[in-house]
Amino acid sequence: MNKFVEVIDLKKMDYKEAWVFQEKLFQETLSIKSNNFRSGTSMSTPNSFLFVEHPHVYTLGKSGHFENLLISDEKLESIGAKFYKINRGGDITYHGPGQIVGYPILDLENFFTDINRYLRLIEEMIILTLEEYDIKAERSKGETGVWLDVGTPFARKICAIGVRASRWVTMHGFALNVNTDLGYFDYMIPCGIKDKAVTSLKVELLRRGTIFDEQTLMEEAKEKVLKHFLNLFEASIYEKTEAEASI
């Protein structure tokens, strides 16, 4: 089993452009698996982990409800945001500057064949990351994602998760609010859940008077997320050879 993962930081990229790139990697892996099945060969399938930061955008999962977007096309344009209906699970979510978005394109047959376990490990990756900032994050029963103060009137979501999987190959992923402008969540019902708020790492740190540089916080949190991902999935970073890097 191939437990090497190529880590690609796409930096700041339009949502649709990143979606097309995801689909390319996703379909390439499915193609290898199909060819292995037809020919009886066992060519190794790749694993990738994409980091990206999107301009303002709302995305609606295939099981989502359009009415959870609370603004018109004209208002979307006026706030500089786009909208896409996409092929992941879940309802509506927001991506924007100051948010760490991660898209693991994994062949789970290289790790384990259990989608529920996959989702729980992605949650655990975020929970462990926030623990390093002395923030107690947790799961909320029946609601995928990572939350704070679950079971209280102050429950709030800090990380959304929505994935697609076919033949054990994953795409889409998670969005961790770091320095995110939370005002953009006012234009939607996050994940279709009406009675809970959203928060960010920045807001939680400021509440206790922690001083930080926003860009440094983004890069630091990204490194912590990757560290916990590799540990939880017992994976190693795939380093391209010089010949591969020049292609």
Q: Which of 25, 191, 217, 225 is catalytic?
A: 191
Q: Are 169 and 39 in contact (CB under 8 A)?
A: no
Give catalytic status of residue 191 as yes or no: yes
Q: Which residues contact 39 (CB under 8 A, 6 or more apart)?
A: none
CA 217 to CA 100: how far, in whole Å? 11
The catalytic site residues sit at 191
